[in-house]
Amino acid sequence: MEMQWQKLLTTKRYGHAEVTEDEFGRSHFHKDQDRIIFSSAFRRLGRKTQVHPMSLNDHIHTRLTHSIEVGSLGRTLGIRVGELIQDQLPEWATAYDIGMIVQSACLAHDIGNPPFGHAGEYAIRDWFKRQENSALLENLSDSERLDLMTFEGNAQGFRVVTRIENHLFDGGLRLTYPTLGALLKYPWSADYSGDKGKFSAYQTEVEILNKLGKELGLIEKSEGCWCRHPLTYLMEAADDICYAILDLEDAIELNILTFDEIKPILLTLCGDTSYEAEIFTSQASARRKISALRGMAMKHMVSSAVQAYMDNQYLIMRGEYTGELLADGDPGVRDGLYQAKKLAREKVFPDTRKTELEVGAYTTLGVLLEAFCHAVHDNYKLQGEGLSYRSDRIISLMGIHAPSPKLPLYKAYMRALDFISGMTDNYATYLARQIGGLS
């Protein structure tokens, strides 16, 4: 069984009963990009941690600048692959449509990440796993408990674009199915998340996931578990390229690494370890030197990913490919990525200031979860009657996310997580201080 581009590129939108008309100068997929960029969730990424929390250096990547850069690479990857498979596409589809779908998915790929980056994800998971909080989860199903104890930015992102942004619980951003499909890095529920805890759909969105899979003609592996959309591999490659190079670039900005430490890695990623440029021996700043190599490395990595996609196209279209394009392409790219991740793991991630702020993130999110989840639990148990003044005030802070007392408890907790995970680093820190009486 093989997926078909005619279905994979449907112009149907989730949340719309009918296919909308093209507008002058804007394709269906161009509209997706515009809706993502102009959403408040996308804008808030500008105050959310990429790797280094709450950095005072303006050159350090935030989730917003990272997403924009990933989108730029994703567009190139999409166009390059689109040109090579043009004869397989529907008559109306062009390589630039492919590029636009991948770019839109890239722009939204981190839109559900909580404050403080991955430390925020771990903080939320660990809070729900604590023994003292087990009473809050007593009446939930195993799958519902698993969602909370395995909080995932990818699954929250899928929820943001299909439920929360713009049309609240009425289609979200109402994106096309191909853009949503390309966004789903892990198109299955937490039941299939494995040891790494990776999944892209909470129980609240499994119904949407299944509808998406059928509309796009994805291959169903088992109930609630689908193969990836072929364009997801290009989104993943764009993200990995940016992670590999730009994390190291940030480390230089923060004086954690020197240019000489990462130069051999970048040369490996460029495919030319003997390359020497005059700028390397000049008085130019480390920032200028790394930018001279960055473009070369990205160009080589893009070409490697495109070639790997074409080499594995048969397996990809059958939903049988389980590799990663950058690992299965040029050996130099594979080795350079390994070296980059190893260096980051050994020297960047253990940085003292980063560690201090991540431990602080645990405390901050713990205060917020304690306040909002207990208030939500009380609201559900008391059915809105006799709620304490404090819990009532906390519920009111949630605004449009505030759950009705009649809402099932699991869904009420998800509303609390919508509110907390949507916060910027700054606002989460401020609100935790206010709630904790520390201001």
Instruction: Quick: pLDDT tens for 185-222.
Output: 999 999 998 888 899 999 999 999 999 999 999 999 99
- Decide if 231 is inside a domain: no
List beta partners, residue 172. 167
List beta partners, residue 132. none
- Distance (Å, rounded) from C-alpha 217 to C-alpha 227? 10
Q: Name the one residue in this structure whose structure tokens are 């730029």.
A: 72
CA 222 from chain center: how many Å?
Answer: 24
CB-neighbour burial class of residue 340 (10 A; exposed 0-12, middle 13-18, buried 19+): buried
Hey, what are 121's tokens? 């994800």
Q: Residues of the chain whose pLDDT is less than 70?
A: 17-25, 49-61, 273-275, 277-284, 350-354, 438-439
- Decide if 317 is inside a domain: yes
Q: Which domain holds residue 264?
A: 240-348
Do 193 and 64 share a domain, yes or no?
yes
- Decide if 328 is inside a domain: yes
Nearest to 259 by CA among 238, 287, 223, 229: 287
Hey, what are 183's tokens? 């966004």
- Decide if 165 is inside a domain: yes
Confidence (pLDDT) at 396: 92
Task: Give the helix/strand (H/E) hosting 265.
Answer: helix 259-270
Q: Name the one residue in this structure whose structure tokens are 């290009």.
A: 234
Do 191 and 52 share a domain, yes or no?
yes
- Distance (Å, rounded) from C-alpha 342 to C-alpha 3? 37
* Whole-prediction pTM: 0.91
Do 21 and 156 share a domain, yes or no?
yes
Do 91 and 210 share a domain, yes or no?
yes
- CB neighbour list of residue 68: distance below 8 Å, 6 or more residues apart: 107
- Decide if 415 is inside a domain: yes
- 3-state SS, one letter per residue, for 242-264: HHHHHHHHHHHHCCCCCHHHHHH
- Decide if 235 is inside a domain: no
Do 321 and 437 share a domain, yes or no?
no
Instruction: Please say which residue of 191, 226, 261 terminates a domain.
Output: 226
The SS3 of residue 260 is helix
Instruction: Please say which residue of 168, 199, 226 terminates a domain.
Output: 226
Please provide residue 225's backbone torsions phi and psi, each rounded to the nearest 5 degrees.
Answer: -140, 115
CATH number (domain holding residue 368): 1.10.3550.10
* Cβ proximity of 305 and 329 under 8 Å: yes
Do 91 and 35 share a domain, yes or no?
yes
- Decide if 233 is inside a domain: no
Please provide residue 422's backbone torsions phi and psi, each rounded to the nearest 5 degrees.
Answer: -80, -10
Do 44 and 93 share a domain, yes or no?
yes
Do 125 and 201 share a domain, yes or no?
no
Confidence (pLDDT) at 23: 66
Do 253 and 272 share a domain, yes or no?
yes
Do 366 and 422 share a domain, yes or no?
yes
343 vs 112, 255, 256, CA distance in Å? 27, 14, 11
- CB neighbour list of residue 322: distance below 8 Å, 6 or more residues apart: none
Do 36 and 157 share a domain, yes or no?
yes
- Rounded to whole angstroms, the maximal C-alpha distance in the chain is 74
CA dihedral angle for residue 262, residue 267, residue 269, residue 271, rounded to 10 degrees: -170
Confidence (pLDDT) at 172: 87
Based on the structure, what is the number of domains in the chain? 3
CATH number (domain holding residue 343): 1.10.3410.10
Instruction: Please say which residue of 165, 191, 226 terminates a domain.
Output: 226
Do 73 and 197 share a domain, yes or no?
yes
- Decide if 154 is inside a domain: yes
